[in-house]
Amino acid sequence: MSEPRPPQTTTTLYGTITDRSGGVIPVAQVTATNVRTNQARSAQTNAGGQYRFEFLPIGEYSVEMTATGFKKFVQKGVLLEVNVAARVDSTLDVGTLAEEVEIVGAAPVVNTANAQIGRSVGNAEINTLPIVGRNVYTLLSLTPGVTSNTNSIVLGYPEQRTMINGGVDGGAGSVSYYLDGGNNMTGLRNTGNIAPNPDAVEEFRVVTNGYSADYGRFAGGVVNILTKSGTNEFHGSLFEFFRNNDLNAYPWVGVTAPLHRNQFGGTLGGPVRKNKTFFFATYSGLRQITSSVLNGAIVPTSLERSGIFSQSKIAPKDPLSGNTPYPGGIIPNNRLDVAAMNILNKNIPLANASGSIWQGSISSPYVTDEVLAKIDHTFNERHRLTASYYETSGHQSISPGGNLPWSTENFDWRQQNVNLSHTFTVSGSMANQFWAGYTRNFGGRLNTPQTSLGDLGSSFNVQGPPALPQITVTGYFTLGQAIAGPVAGTNFYFTRDQVSYIRGRHSISFGGELSLNKDVQQTLLNNYGVFSFTGTYVT
């Protein structure tokens, strides 16, 4: 009677009721009650003494079983996890309904319903385990089979990349990501989108093997995150995580890289109407400035910037006179390139360490904000509606490389997730769940300052938006630059409908999904120019 449910926010509860002789008990009444919301679902056992609840919200439940001529049986502490079918069997004793047998204990932790291999990470682990950067994806590494777990910004928005059971990336992911039952991916490279802060996550499940065809899309695995819901009691939290240089140890040698990090926010959930309507909301913000230490650049001296190399170890050679040294080691003023002089005077700092070395640090600000709002409403025992909206946006500025301050690569992104689900218990043998959702995630990468070689006095023409060139002077310094792309992202629309039907000892699940994925990417490539000066004159 068990079948794994496709990615969603609910699960299955089933079992068999017998008497002490081992005989099955038909037409027994079974009621599953959510402890935190007091919402209940009821069903009757069939001729084989079997019962089944489909599309139950996750959480802690109390399961009550009654039958004429038998004592009431109550099992408490039944914990339902997302997409993990739970089995609760019982043996009823002869007696009256006024008598009660109560058992407190969780459902079996070993999955005997199917061959699915995976792991659920619950709220207790999320709250107590140390999470680097408060990114719940870091907990994926606790799942056996997860061989790689990284998060980076390449196209302009954060990308989660997970490899399972030795899978490869190859520039495009192979794992499906879901948030509150809806798609949480960007189709450009099939990478996972940002997940809500840990205080807003109820649990998530990682499926690494043996999942049914209902999941579809990618064969590597499934990551399904479920956010918290409100209950019959008001609950909230406030958090602040703070780090700076004063709290860190000093390095043994070199320059201390400045660090300032503030991560803050809160949650609030509770009833709008007890036993009927519940809400949950959260906000989280990050204000961070990290720094990169640069200490390998050898820069020109004051005399060398004027073309005077008479006191330098290496004398420049004149390519127009047979590659012989300039007389007296001095380059005539009319031979000094205008663009090169502008770069030297405006962008190349003077040495601040012995050996004509410049060392310092470049700051990298990182700012994010996120909000989540969720509503759960039960019309009656047969109809339940859930709606959620999640939005996060951010900005990060980094150095594109090199060992001197030069250009800045700026990332800006905005992600939105909208999910709506309706659960309809048609009868004791049939249940239906309908989903509709929209996921939008767009980012961009822009280089600043928007200055090209033409602005510095060169005749070099730049196609597209202006940007500083990439310049390498072998043995001395590198002015780094990176490829830009103003727009990259995905619009994803979907509707899904699933039906679960019970016939005797058999359970049948069927349904379908209609989705539309629109990917957009604009990339400028290295239109700014890449120049290398190796000290070798080529005729």
Burial (CB < 10 A; 0-12, 13-18, 19+), residue 106, is middle
| Mean pLDDT confidence for 110-122 | 67
The Cα–Cα gap between 218 and 207 comes to: 12
Question: How large is the C-alpha radius of gyration of the chain?
Answer: 31
Please tell me which residue, 279 or 127, carries the higher pLDDT value.
279
The mean pLDDT value of the chain amounts to 88
Q: What is the pLDDT of residue 116?
A: 63
Q: SS3 string of 53-119?
A: EEEEECEEEEEEEECCCECEEEEEEEEEECCECEECCEEECECCCCCEEEEECCCCCCCCCCCCEEE
What region, left, alpha or beta, does residue 322 occupy, with left being phi > 0 and alpha being psi -120 to 50 degrees?
left
Global confidence as pTM = 0.86
The region of weakest confidence among 48-57, 88-97, 247-256, 312-321 is 247-256
Structure tokens belonging to residue 211: 């999942």
Would you give the distance in Å from CA 499 to the centre of its chain?
30
pLDDT tens profile 234-268: 999 999 999 888 887 777 766 677 889 999 999 99
Q: What is the pLDDT of residue 4?
A: 38
pLDDT(217) > 90: no
| Mean pLDDT confidence for 484-498 | 93
Please tell me which residue, 433 or 115, carries the higher pLDDT value.
433
| Mean pLDDT confidence for 102-110 | 62
| Mean pLDDT confidence for 341-364 | 92
pLDDT tens profile 407-440: 999 999 999 999 999 999 898 888 999 999 999 9
| Mean pLDDT confidence for 315-325 | 85
| Mean pLDDT confidence for 289-295 | 88
Can you tell me whether residue 304 is helix, strand or coil?
helix
Q: What is the pLDDT of residue 24?
A: 92
Q: What is the pLDDT of residue 375?
A: 97
| Mean pLDDT confidence for 83-97 | 86
pLDDT(113) > 60: no
Q: What is the pLDDT of residue 361?
A: 86
pLDDT tens profile 435-490: 999 999 999 999 999 999 989 998 888 887 889 999 999 999 999 999 998 899 99
pLDDT tens profile 382-407: 899 999 999 999 999 999 999 999 99
Structure tokens belonging to residue 130: 């140390």
pLDDT(168) > 80: no
Backbone angles phi, psi at 50, to 5 degrees: -105, 145
Tracing tokens 């769940």 back to the chain, one arrives at: 433
Q: Model confidence at 164, in pLDDT bands (50, 70, 90)?
A: confident
Q: Angle 88-381-200 (CA atoms, 0-180°, nearest 5)?
A: 75
pLDDT tens profile 501-510: 888 778 888 8
Domain boundaries, the chain: 10-111, 119-294+361-530, 300-347
In CATH, which of 3.40.50.1980, 3.40.50.1380, 3.40.50.2300, 2.60.40.1120 is domain 10-111?
A: 2.60.40.1120
